[in-house]
Amino acid sequence: MNSTGLASISDRWKSRWGITRIVAISLVIGVVLVSYSLPVFFPSRACQVPAIYNFGDSNSDTGSSSATFGRLPSPYAEELGLPYLSAYLDSMDSDFKHGSNFAVSGSTIQPADGKLFGAGFNPLSLSIQLSQFQQFRDRTIELYKQDRKLWRESRLPGPEDFSKALYTLDCGQNDLHFGLISMIDEEKVVASIPSLINQFAIAIEKLYQEGARTFWIHNTGPIGCLPFPVIKHPPKPGNADQIGCVKSYNDVAQEFNKQLKEKVSKVRTQLLDAVLILVDIYSAKYSLISKANKYGFDNPLGYCCGHHEDHIVECGKTIELANGTNVYGAEKLGLPYLSAYLDSVGSNFRHGANFATAGSTIRPQNTTLRQSGFSPISLDVQWNEFYDFHRRSQIFRSKGFRFSRALYTFDIGQNDLTSGYFLNMSANEVRAYVPDVLNQFKNIVSYVYGQGGRNFWIHNTGPFGCLPYVIDRIPISKAEFDKVGCGTPFNEVAQYFNRGLKEVVAQLRKELPHAAITYVDVYTVKYNLISRARTHGFNESLRACCGHGGKYNYNKNIGCGRKITVRGKQIMIGKPCKDPSRWINWDGVHYTQAANEWVFEQIVDGSFSDPPIPLKMACHRHPLS
């Protein structure tokens, strides 16, 4: 595969927005570095593994979200003599003493769905950036309480600093841009503005609830003067102003700014002890563009960097550019440059990195996180993160050969299947899109191979018909439950997916002749555990350990850890069971740590692998029959 094909997904993110850094979510792609070449036959000598890189969902998330029950990578790391993996989003070793930058190129106020993502916009919308901030704040305070010495060494702010900090917000232009390129006329874009403004106000209110008191808010700039719309979509006669900007586009921006100003005024009356400063960036930028020569600039509507009239040949193919807004603001306040929240290269990745976060899928979902609960950080986004990590790592250390000796572990696909059911699809309709899911999975493995990856450890999907979040929410007849209590139609779809995945692995072995690909039958192991729970030392096979009420101790509206306020006092109603080590299911969706460890013990020696080799020998290539 040539370099153009390999970078195709990554280039989607860079074509308009420059180099981006992204977060990770739902499957397991791990990477394990090995120290010698791949023989054709399986030798008795184990692979020497200095590091693991893991991609995945909540089953292997060690820090990027709150799902810490599974810790799937931990047994892998322990088996290979390594410490726990640092989450790629767990940037605690970066310097956050003076703040953090959660902004990413191409992001929007509105949550990203498949249309936004397909148009090249970033899935890390404002609400997700806010969630990252909340996680960052909570973990900082937790570390402060637990270990003051470790906190001082961590280059983190103090708990009291959050209420004293300046919170800057500059977003909305991408929402308008998307509307203008996807809708028939500007009136429809204007009609979408109130919803955007309301979502923006909600973000301010949530920051306020987290302790923020001082806000510096930019309105949006003259989007009709940007080279991309001016050159790519030249204004029609009469729709250009005296300097060549698209008037109708700028009218939309000004309407956005008008409504933003009204909303900020209203929020001031609600948050009486907050300081909200609205900055008229539009006027400043339009003045600069319209009087460019006066201020010492040439060609105000042209590109400085890039190929004229072809945004596909973008600026920055070999260099990295930084948006200067926050940088200059920090300098004015006597502070150093802000560390990007996603810029985790300063973290401890000596023994690998975990790109996994909860809820992700192989295929990008055409829904938002709020609508479906599935993450916008799909497998191709995780691939993009690794691609960027791989590139940037070699800037700091010229050891690219180590990546070619890595073991990449994948455990993903379950969310793709359940997402169809939650959209009221039938089993046949879910089966119908499985080939497309598998094809996209195959492409990602090929992309990793093109980046030098040679060793792959691939899990099939488990019996999701045995999980409370499926069998409690999706009605089936009594006859459709098996003797264990699992939903047969759901498990049949899982097995259909697994048969297809095994065929894909066989195809990849032929197409990637230097790859060592191990297929692991996790389905059989998990179903055996559930169907013979007591034999294996577990008392509860289907009910959730942590939850609230119902046949399965599961309620989608009252999750594990959920609290309610009664007479001014918080009471936890989503309580954990007394002894999770005797339960298989943790929260209706995930397995307990004890169950995950049991599963790992069954698969680590190769008993359920094709070829039947243990994890420690997964660097050895499978001989084709």
Same domain (yes/no): 536, 578: yes
Whether 189 is covered by a domain: the verdict is yes
pLDDT of residue 625: 40
463 and 390 share one domain: yes
Q: Please name the helix (run of DSSP H) or strand (run of DSSP E) that holds residue 32, with its range, or none.
A: strand 29-33
Q: Which domain holds residue 57?
A: 3-90+344-617
Considering 340, 369, 394, which residue would you say is the last residue of a domain?
A: 340
Three-state DSSP string of 370-386: HHHCCCCCCHHHHHHHH
Domain count, the chain: 2
pLDDT band at 415 (very low <50, low <70, confident <90, very high): very high
Q: Are 196 and 259 in contact (CB under 8 A)?
A: no
Residue-wise pLDDT tens digits, 327-348: 344 444 455 545 444 444 335 5
Rounded to whole angstroms, the Cα distance separating 140 from 163 reads 14
Question: What is residue 200's predicted lDDT score, i.e. its pLDDT?
Answer: 95
Q: Do the bridges between strand 540-544 and strand 352-354 make them parallel or antiparallel, or are there none, so unpaired?
A: unpaired
**Residue 336 shares a structural domain with residue 348:** no
Tell me the pLDDT of the chain averaged across its residues.
Answer: 77
Asked if 479 and 596 sit in the same domain, the reply is yes
Q: How far apart are CA 377 and CA 601, in angstroms?
A: 29
Last residue of a domain, one of 340, 375, 391: 340
Q: Which pLDDT value is given to residue 490?
A: 98
What are the angstrom distances between the C-alpha of 533 and each of 379, 540, 544? 32, 7, 14
Lowest mean pLDDT among 124-138, 381-395, 423-437, 546-560: 381-395
17 and 69, same domain (yes or no): yes
Q: Do residue 289 and residue 431 come from a single domain?
A: no
Same domain (yes/no): 140, 109: yes
Residues 352 and 288 grouped into a single domain: no
Alpha helices in 303-426 (DSSP H): 325-332, 369-372, 379-396, 401-404, 414-422
Q: Looking at 340, 362, 394, which one is the last position of a domain? A: 340
> Residue 520's domain is classified under what CATH number?
3.40.50
Does a structural domain hold residue 32?
yes
Between 298 and 438, name the one with better pLDDT: 438
107 and 80 both lie in a single domain: no
Claim to verify: residue 474 and residue 327 sit in the same structural domain: no
pLDDT tens for each residue of 527-545: 999 999 999 999 999 999 9
Digit-coded pLDDT (tens) for 280-328: 999 999 999 999 889 888 888 877 766 544 333 344 433 222 333 333 4
Q: Is residue 23 part of a domain?
A: yes
Average pLDDT over residues 574-586: 94
Residue 200 and residue 262 in one domain: yes
Residue 625, in any domain of the structure: no
Domain membership flag for residue 400: yes
Distance of alpha carbon 476 from its chain centroid, rounded?
32
Distance CA 385, CA 369 (A): 19
pLDDT per residue as tens digits for the range 166-187: 888 999 999 998 888 876 678 8
Cα separation of the two ends of the chain = 24
Q: Is residue 234 part of a domain?
A: yes
Residue 528, CB half-sphere, CA atoms under 13 Å: how many?
A: 11
pLDDT at 44 over 90: no
Using DSSP bridges, classify how beta strands 455-459 and 407-410 pair: parallel, antiparallel or unpaired: parallel
Residue 459 identity (one-letter amino acid): H
- Greater model confidence, 1 or 199: 199
Residue 622 lies in a domain: no
Clarify whether residues 323 and 418 are in a common domain.
no
pLDDT value of position 81: 59
pLDDT at 580: 94
Determine if the peptide bond prior to 463 is cis (ω within 30°): no
In a domain, 24, yes or no: yes
Q: How confident is the model at residue 266 (pLDDT cuts 50, 70, 90)?
A: very high
Q: What is the pLDDT of residue 511?
A: 96
